[in-house]
C-alpha cells in the first residue's frame, strides 16, 4: 500500500535571527519562536525542521502549548563522519574529530527518536540527515552509515522515515538507501545551476522526474526548492536574483505542486544572517520569503498586507 503523506502548503523553518546560530548554540527564544509560528500559521500547514537542538524542542513545545495545527517533518543534523576532499569550501578533519562527530551523530539520532516519540501528534515524519552524501557536502556521511542510522530510527519510531538530499545522488549512489526509506526527499535549486527564471520550473520538474521514475513504488517529495533574492556573484549571477524572480518561481512551484498533489517544502521562511561567509550579500543568507526582521518580501506581501501597512506606518 502506498504511503499517504499530508498535503498542503509546506515551508522550511529555521528561526535564527541576528546574533543567533546553531554553531554558537545561541537559539531563538520561546517568545521569538511563538511569534514566528503564529506568523507562519496564517499561510502554511506543514513545517520542516533541520535538527533536534533546543530550537526544535521549543518549536514543538509552542505548537503543543498553543494548539497550532502544524504537521512537522523533524530532522536530525548529521556532521561529518568521513573526509570529503571534493568539497570546495570544506576542511579536513582529523581521525579524532571524525570519531567525535560520529558519537555526536549517534546522540543526535537518539534525540530525533525521543522527540518524535514525545510529540506524535505533531511530527508526521522524520528525516535522518540533510545533504550528507552529495559530492560537495562538508559533512559527509557514507551510505553504509546512513543505512545504520535509518535502521536505528525505523526500529524506534512510528512515523515514516526519510533522508533529505540533492536530486543527483538519488539517481544512483543512494539506491541501497532507498530500500530502507519510507519515502524519498529531494532538493532542487535551478538558480544554483545557472538556470534562468524561464527555465526554472521545467528544470525542477525534470529533477523530480529523474528520481521518481527510478522508484515507482516509493513516494517522492520535495524538501527544498526556492529562489535567492540577493547574491555576491558566488555561484549565482546577480542578474538571476531579485524579489521579483523569487515571486515568479514561488508561484509557479506552488501552482504545479498543489495541482499534482506533490508535497513541497519551500526554502525557506526567513533570511538567516549566520549562513555562509561574512559577506552580507552571500546568497546563503537570502532565501527567506521574509527578511530576518520578519517583513514579508514581495512574494508574501499580498498575503501579509497588514504587516506591510504596519511597516509603512
Which residue has cell 520569503?
A: 289
Q: What is the pLDDT of residue 91?
A: 86
Residue 98: phi, psi to the nearest 5?
-65, -40
3 part of a folded domain: no
Asked if the peptide bond before residue 268 counts as cis, ω within 30 degrees of 0, the response is yes
Report yes or no on 1 lying in a domain. no
Residue 138 lies in a domain: yes
**CA–CA dist 279, 264 (Å, integer):** 30
Residues of the chain with pLDDT under 70: 1, 309-313
CB within 8 A of 299, min separation 6: which ones? 243, 246, 247, 250, 251, 289
Q: Is 95 a member of any domain? A: yes
Distance CA 54, CA 205 (A): 35
Which sign, positive or negative, has the C-alpha torsion 15, 18, 24, 29?
A: negative
For residue 67, being part of any structural domain is answered with yes
- Which CATH number goes with the domain that contains 92? 3.20.20.80
Neighbouring-strand partners of residue 125: 73
- 187 strand-pairing partners: 166, 224
| pTM for this predicted structure | 0.96
116 occurs within a structural domain? yes
Cβ atoms of 57 and 111 closer than 8 Å: no
pLDDT value at residue 268:
98
pLDDT computed for residue 278 by the predictor: 93
Q: Count of domains in the chain?
A: 1
pLDDT confidence of residue 309:
66
Look up residue 261 and give its three cell numbers.
Answer: 498533489
Closest to 227 (Cα-Cα) out of 165, 287, 297 = 287
In angstroms, the first-to-last Cα distance of the chain is 54
Domain membership of residue 4 (yes or no) is no
Annotate 207-232 with DSSP letters as a single string.
Answer: HHHHHHTT-TTS-EEEEEE---S---
Q: What does the pLDDT look like over 289-311, one tens digit per residue? A: 999 999 999 999 999 998 876 55
Per-residue model confidence (pLDDT) at position 48: 98
Identify the three-state secondary structure at position 204: helix
Output the pLDDT for position 310.
55
Residue 271's domain spans which residues?
Answer: 10-312
Query: Domain for residue 2, yes or no?
Result: no
Amino acid at each position: 500500500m502506498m504511503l499517504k503523506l499530508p498535503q498542503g502548503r509546506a515551508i522550511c523553518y529555521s528561526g535564527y535571527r541576528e546574533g543567533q546560530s546553531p554553531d554558537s548554540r545561541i537559539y531563538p527564544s520561546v517568545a521569538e519562536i511563538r511569534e514566528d509560528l503564529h506568523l507562519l500559521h496564517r499561510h502554511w500547514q506543514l513545517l520542516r525542521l533541520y535538527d533536534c537542538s533546543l530550537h526544535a524542542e521549543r518549536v514543538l513545545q509552542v505548537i503543543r502549548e498553543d494548539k497550532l495545527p502544524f504537521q512537522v517533518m523533524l530532522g536530525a543534523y548529521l556532521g561529518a563522519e568521513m573526509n570529503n576532499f571534493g568539497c570546495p569550501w570544506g576542511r579536513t578533519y582529523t581521525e579524532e574529530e571524525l570519531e567525535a562527530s560520529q558519537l555526536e551523530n549517534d546522540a543526535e539520532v537518539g534525540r530525533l527518536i525521543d522527540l518524535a516519540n514525545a510529540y506524535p501528534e505533531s511530527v508526521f515524519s522524520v528525516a535522518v540527515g540533510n545533504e550528507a552524501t552529495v559530492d560537495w557536502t562538508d559533512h559527509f556521511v557514507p551510505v553504509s552509515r546512513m543505512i545504520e542510522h535509518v535502521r536505528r530510527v525505523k526500529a524506534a519510531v512510528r512515523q515514516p522515515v526519510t533522508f533529505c538530499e540533492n536530486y543527483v545522488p538519488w539517481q544512483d549512489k543512494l539506491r541501497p538507501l532507498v530500500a530502507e526509506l519510507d519515502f524519498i526527499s529531494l532538493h532542487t535549486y535551478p538558480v544554483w545551476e545557472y538556470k534562468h527564471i524561464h527555465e526554472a520550473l521545467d528544470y525542477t520538474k525534470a529533477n523530480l522526474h529523474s528520481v521518481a521514475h527510478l522508484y515507482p513504488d516509493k513516494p517522492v517529495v520535495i524538501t527544498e526548492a526556492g529562489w535567492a533574492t540577493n547574491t555576491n556573484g558566488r555561484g549565482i549571477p546577480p542578474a538571476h536574483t531579485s524579489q521579483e524572480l523569487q515571486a515568479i518561481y514561488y508561484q509557479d512551484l506552488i501552482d504545479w505542486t498543489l495541482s499534482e498533489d506533490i508535497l513541497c517544502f519551500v526554502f525557506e521562511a526567513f533570511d538567516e544572517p549566520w549562513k555562509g561567509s561574512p559577506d552580507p550579500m552571500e546568497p546563503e543568507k537570502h532565501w527567506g520569503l521574509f527578511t530576518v526582521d520578519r517583513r514579508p518580501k514581495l512574494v508574501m506581501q499580498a498575503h501579509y498586507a497588514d504587516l506591510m501597512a504596519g511597516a509603512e506606518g
